[in-house]
Amino acid sequence: MFLQFLFLCSAALTVGCAIAVAVTKNIMHSCIFLLGTLIGIAGLYATLGADFVAVTQIMVYVGGIVILMLFAVMLTGGKDFVSRAQNLLGLAPSMGNKWTFALGGFVGVVFILTNVKLLMSVFQTIPAKSFGNEYPSTVNEIGHLLIKDHVLAFELSSVLLLGALVGAAIIARPRKQ
């Protein structure tokens, strides 16, 4: 029952926010809808029993990529985010309306349900069968494979990421004139 509810909420959030990303003309709103889409996808991964992929989805894409995009849009200016009504009436920018609060609440519910599903295997006091967990956790198997069988690929990927980080730092440094 829990997995079906999480799946339906995650699927509705993913499809709804993906459509909103494609339809929205404001790039800031599009980034926020992309955030909802990626959280919904993490919920879908959690319902399939792919705990490692769901946590990676949240940490890398939600925690890194979308936040980077939001900062890039805000720092470059994008366009003026003041609506016509705010200009005409001289109003201060509002924090949202009833629809944005409803969407934020729904994203929060899916995020909390996804975290409950992911933490079920961590805390042994919560019986996994009470939530209808048909799929075993994959985190232990992936950890053993990365440390024992595929340690060379794991180390090479870390060197590649270190090289990318050093390259980004060299590109971003200020130039002497």
Single-letter amino acid code for the residue at 150: H
Single-letter amino acid code for the residue at 158: S
What is d(CA 19, CA 124) in angstroms, rounded to the nearest whole number?
39
pLDDT at 16 over 90: yes
Single-letter amino acid code for the residue at 161: L
The separation between the first and the last C-alpha atoms of the chain, rounded to the nearest angstrom, is 65
The number of CA neighbours under 13 Å toward the Cβ of 122 is: 8
Q: What CATH number belongs to 2-135?
A: 1.20.120
pLDDT digits (tens, 9 = 90+) for 119-175: 776 665 545 555 555 666 677 777 788 888 888 888 888 899 888 888 877 887 777
What is d(CA 31, CA 8) in angstroms, rounded to the nearest whole number?
23
Give the mean pLDDT of the chain: 79
Q: Note the pTM of the prediction, 2 decimals.
A: 0.62
| Own/partner pairs, 53-61, CB within 8 angstroms, 24+ separation | 53/138, 54/114, 54/117, 54/118, 55/118, 55/139, 58/114
Torsion angles phi and psi, residue 96, rounded to 5: 145, 180
pLDDT digits (tens, 9 = 90+) for 51-73: 888 888 888 888 888 778 777 77
**Largest distance between two CA atoms of the chain:** 66
Task: Output the pLDDT for position 126.
Answer: 47
Higher pLDDT, 85 or 158: 158
Output the six-digit token pair for 90: 């001289």
What is d(CA 7, CA 40) in angstroms, rounded to the nearest whole number?
9
Pair 96, 104: CB distance under 8 Å:
yes
pLDDT at 75 over 50: yes
Q: Where are the domains of the chain?
A: 2-135, 138-177
